[in-house]
Structure 1
Amino acid sequence: MDNPFRYRLFYTARQKAVTTVVVLALLAWGTVAVVRSATTPEDRSCAPGVARPAGSQECVGVAEAGDGYAFGEERLEQVAAAIGRENATLADGPYATVALLLPLTSTSAGLREKVLNELQGAFVQQYRANRQNNEVPGIRLVLANTGKDNAHWRTAVDRLKGMTGAPHHLRAVSGIATSSGAVQSAVAELTAAGIAVVGTTITADNIANAPGRQLFPGLARVSPTNGDEARALAHFGKVDAAKALLVHDTRTGDHYTDTLKNAFSALLARSPYEPQWFTSAEDPNAEGTTANTFRRITHLVCDTRADTVFFAGRHTQLRQFINALGARGCKERRFTVLTGDEGSYLGADPQLDRSALEEGLTVHYAALAHPDAWRARPGYRPPATGGSAAAYDEFVRALEEVSKAPAGPIGRTTLADGQAIIAYDAMAAAVRAIREATPQGADLPPVADVARQWPQVKGSLKVPGASGWICLDNYGNPYNKAVPVVRLTRGAPRFVAMAWPEGAAPSADCLPPRRP
């Protein structure tokens, strides 16, 4: 028997008409929804000045509101919020903005820690600068994210280039922390636009100006170049080239590795041993297969009479090499490994075989800063020139103040890797340039004038940084900057001694000599 309900609902003339109308209405609504979805662009914004690029879930760009936006990174929320609170006190101006350009959403554990510490150090200087005798302009700080591996540097840089006018008044960019091709391109774009740039931890010699090579007009750096680091290590170790060899990465395009390799090669020109090569993965943070290569290289190192190994590579491969040397067959032989500032990443690396450091293996790296470098202790007296305990202690006092309310909290700060200290100094250099470029009676300096201040940052006009004196040559490079030599240990990395690119601390006047 037919279902009477079905008959009544669908087969009376009235119900047929109603059903037809309903179906047509649903079809029309669905069509409109599909068309609207297809023709309306997806909202990929994250915050003012920040968005997710097509094909990416990272929020990149510039948090131009300066209101505490942390790019979705929980570890950055406290320090970003502190920056936002400080910026809010400047709402009535006058203020100049400094941007921190960094890979804030990096997935590398070591780089994530480094980025956090750099934000904290920069904020300490911002807070301190805004309380220096009511000097103008005030200093506003914004965060700029270039994304994982700095892949979206252009998005951030294009935003920054449009922020020199009101209401942002961008006058300098700091951060600039990794020596890579992407960072080199970012620095070139910013300086070509007349914007002053202060590098924190870039050490590559080819992201620098030099006589006859002004590729980045307006760039200043507060860290020594790889060449300077290498010379400082050689002076410290009193290395005999006849008993030393080089292990280096052959992957090209990494400016840190390339220039460190070149600097070490020059030092070891008289070594009887050819360099030992390895090739890291395209992503230098990836483990790849280099651990197997280092196991074989270790056998060859044991075959030589060398007692010193210079290592030019990133921290992941450095850790693999140390682990391999810890398991070497010639345990009766003692070796010293000398390397650049990438060694600072290994202090908290859980994959480092720390027992290797007790097997006749000593690992020294050239740090950019260290909390023990300027403090006297039994058996160590800091140099009389090149830096001071007073400047470092001023940093510590300011850090303690901003770490608690009302300025803070800013999250746990690690000083052993030197990142917070060097970022504090870079920000100090930016503040100095902005305020020195501000005409008498004016509230803001012209954009181009900020980038012209670097040749005068020397002598009595030096920046007394927490990491050491910042005396810039005419090309924006620090002259004879202090290089703390740090030893990896089973516990925390240990400061060993201060080394100098020129072999000794600078004279009291801190005036770079004439360069050919």
Structure 2
Amino acid sequence: MADHDGPLDPLTPWYRTRRGVSALAAAMVVCAAVVVLISWPSPPDTSCGTGAPGLQWAGSGADRECVGLTNERAFAADPRLKSITEKIAAENRRVRDQWDRPGKGKRRVDYVKVGLLTPMTESDTSALPIGEIRSSLEGAYIAQCRANGCPGLPRDEPLGIGGEAPPLIQLVIADEGRGEAHWKPAVDQLTALARGAHPLVAVTGMGISIEETRKAAVELSKHGIPSIGAVLTATDVNADRLFKVSPSNLDYARALRRYVDRSPLARSRGYLVFDSRNDNYVRTLRQAFDTTFPRSIGDNRTSFVGATGNEPAGTPQLFTTAVNNICQTKADMVLYAGRDRDLGPLITALAGRQCDEKKPLTLLTGATGAFQQAQDRRGLLTKSRISVLDVSSAHPSLWLKGQHAPRGFPAFHDSMKALGFRETVLVDGYAIMHHDAVLTAVWATRNVTAHTGDETPDINDVYHELTNLNHTTSVPAAGGQLSFDDASHGWPHNKPVPLIRIPDQGEEAPPPYRTP
């Protein structure tokens, strides 16, 4: 062994070696990560609605609402919706059971989902009162039951969509908040349902004609999901895959014009009273009146601030100037472009006019549900010699008498009674229109499955079928025999637009205008 002149070099400590330094650094990173995971706060729980996992808090302060989806577990923030939401949830569970637990000797029956996008609460400034929301849910449920063959309904469903023909339908309620302020989280949840087993094939309802509705329809279209509006009439609420079962505001104006031209009102002097807010419905109805009644209206117009909407725009329902100007111009025909909520106060203001009180005054408007506001003031209308002419998507009181009733109305009415609903469900027309929106989705879906033999249709096939619902496949809706094609831009052909006169003078109702 060789000798060394001095002491041996000491060994380098392991933690000073390159490998040791690397090991220490890695350990420190792991420790730091553990500390972060332990100390980092977990995401806040935004869930709301006991037992309803699809609901979540959205917004802040006064705008904070419990919104989202409900399917097999009912939730109603407003107790007036408790009964109908429980009926829908129970039917959704019955549908799932026919797939999961069909019973001994029975085959499994597949199902798909149809969304119902709607506000589920009201406020003093929301355009949809709770009564119309409830009617909407009831009409949608009647359509679901007719599609699924609910217990209590006749098995020989005349429309050919009953009797458990696959796929069955789960109706998923998507609450977008009062004023539709929280449409985005509701739509995000709906789009997620379009994937996987038992997919979402369409969304119905779609609220009312405001910008939030258009944005929701555009977002659904981006995901390939067709939507079907029940009471959308604004001509600028459009999207690639948005359909409507209602007439447009231009159709409303044309229907009124047709009636006026055939009546003593043909030579009347008109006056336009319109809501000045940035609201798609009132804006496009005003434009339709200007286009259709240019000589009658001319420069005769006064605006007011409506009581509905998400943003304050001034003191609402100030009609004094409008009434004084109507007197000054000696107008005998008032065209009203405003929301239902403001119609009653306008009638009250016109009844107090200080000019020629014995001269009859006719108020013209177009809306589903506006006739109920007028009906509530029949005594005042009669006393003040005011008549309201409302063209609408539905005329239930007339159709119950068998006058100009669409072919599909009696079957709808029979199902409504068999399910235990009273005639009051029909009052505002919203049950009929939401029934028709859901029925149209079912009609397209069942047509696809009949052609393909696949009980789970592709949403693209459902969309294309919606554009081909005409002639032999037109929709036998309660509100009319509806047709759609690729040239209709989502609007229905052949939709009746009945005229409602309040107070009723006992005269026979004219045949309705029909959409081209």
In structure 2, distance between residues paired with 1:284 and 1:152: 14
SS in 1 for 2:194: coil
Judged with a 3 Å threshold, the aligned counterparts in structure 2 of structure 1 residues 282 and 41 are, in CA distance, closer, same or farther, namely farther
Structure 1 partner of 2:483? 471
Letter in 1 for 2:411: E
From 34, 44, 47, give the equivalent of 1:45: 47
Normalised TM-score (structure 2) = 0.79
Structure 2 partner of 1:509? none
Normalised TM-score (structure 1) = 0.79
SS in 2 for 1:45: coil
In structure 2, distance between residues paired with 1:146 and 1:262: 28
Identity in percent? 32
SS in 2 for 1:84: helix
Instruction: Decide whether the 8 Å contact of 1:372 with 1:495 is kept in 2.
Output: no
Structure 1 partner of 2:115? 99
Structure 1 partner of 2:242? 219
Deviations 1:296-327 (A, max 9, x none): 21111112232211111112322222111100
SS in 1 for 2:389: strand
Structure 1 partner of 2:412? 395
- Structure 1 position 422, deviation (Å): 1.1
From 354, 358, 361, give the equivalent of 2:386: 361
Structure 2 partner of 1:85? 90
Judge which range, 453-462 or 148-157, deviates more: 453-462
Structure 2 partner of 1:243? 269
In structure 2, distance between residues paired with 1:498 and 1:38: 69
Structure 1 partner of 2:447? 436
SS in 2 for 1:59: strand
From 123, 137, 146, give the equivalent of 1:119: 137
SS in 1 for 2:438: helix
Tell whether 2:205 aligns with 1:175: yes
In structure 2, distance between residues paired with 1:164 and 1:184: 20
Alignment of 1:187-336 (within 5 A): 187-208=217-238, 216-238=239-261, 239-240=265-266, 243-252=269-278, 254-271=279-296, 273-280=298-305, 283-284=308-309, 289-292=315-318, 294-330=319-355, 331-336=357-362
Deviations 1:314-371 (A, max 9, x none): 1232222211110001202211010011552643897x58414431100111121122
In structure 2, distance between residues paired with 1:305 and 1:348: 23
Q: CA RMSD in A?
A: 3.0
SS in 1 for 2:228: strand
In structure 1, distance between residues paired with 2:243 and 2:507: 29
**Larger-Rg structure:** 2
Deviations 1:239-275 (A, max 9, x none): 53662222212222x1100110010001121236414
In structure 1, distance between residues paired with 2:412 and 2:463: 25
Instruction: Decide whether the 8 Å contact of 1:161 with 1:193 is kept in 2.
Output: yes
5+ residue gaps, structure 1, are 1-35, 209-215, 404-409, 503-511
In structure 2, distance between residues paired with 1:425 and 1:61: 23
Alignment of 1:55-66 (within 5 A): 55=60, 56-63=63-70, 66=71
Instruction: Decide whether the 8 Å contact of 2:375 with 2:503 is kept in 1.
Output: no
Tell whether 2:81 aligns with 1:76: yes
In structure 1, distance between residues paired with 2:197 and 2:209: 31
Instruction: Decide whether the 8 Å contact of 2:371 with 2:500 is kept in 1.
Output: no
Instruction: Decide whether the 8 Å contact of 1:375 with 1:382 is kept in 2.
Output: no
- Structure 1 position 42, deviation (Å): 3.8
Instruction: Decide whether the 8 Å contact of 1:368 with 1:483 is kept in 2.
Output: yes
Instruction: Decide whether the 8 Å contact of 1:284 with 1:316 is kept in 2.
Output: no
- Structure 1 position 156, deviation (Å): 0.4
SS in 2 for 1:363: strand
Instruction: Decide whether the 8 Å contact of 1:83 with 1:123 is kept in 2.
Output: yes
